[in-house]
């Protein structure tokens, strides 16, 4: 079921990118250029997802460390 949902979202994303092909100016840390709007939004979404994933992994590691310390404390 999750594969079907993922494929539907992918198709919707492809349609979104295809419909937003207007060229927009882009300035980023001194770099200037022109990129399609759909591609710019896609890259921004992927970058945001990566930031969220890194924060989530850090939190999971923190929670596992805390749980391990509590288990160790209880076993004494």
pLDDT digits (tens, 9 = 90+) for 37-76: 888 888 888 899 999 999 999 999 999 999 999 998 888 7
* Token reading at 27: 């300035």
CB count within 10 Å of CB 51 equals 10
* Token reading at 54: 């890194």
pTM of the model: 0.66
What does the pLDDT look like over 4-33, one tens digit per residue? 998 998 898 888 888 888 998 888 888 898
> Given this model, what pLDDT does residue 39 score?
86
Report the C-alpha gap between 6 and 9 in whole angstroms: 5
> Given this model, what pLDDT does residue 54 score?
96
- Reduced to 3 states, what is the DSSP secondary structure of residue 25? strand
Distances (CA, A) of 48 to 45, 55, 64, 76: 5, 11, 24, 43
């Amino acid at each position: 079921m999750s594969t079907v949902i993922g494929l539907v979202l992918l198709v919707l994303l492809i349609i979104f990118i295809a419909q937003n092909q207007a060229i927009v100016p882009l300035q980023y840390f001194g770099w200037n250029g022109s990129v399609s709007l759909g591609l710019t939004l896609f890259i921004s979404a992927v970058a945001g997802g990566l930031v969220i994933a890194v924060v989530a992994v850090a939190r999971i590691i923190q929670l596992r460390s805390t749980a391990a310390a509590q288990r160790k404390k209880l076993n004494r």
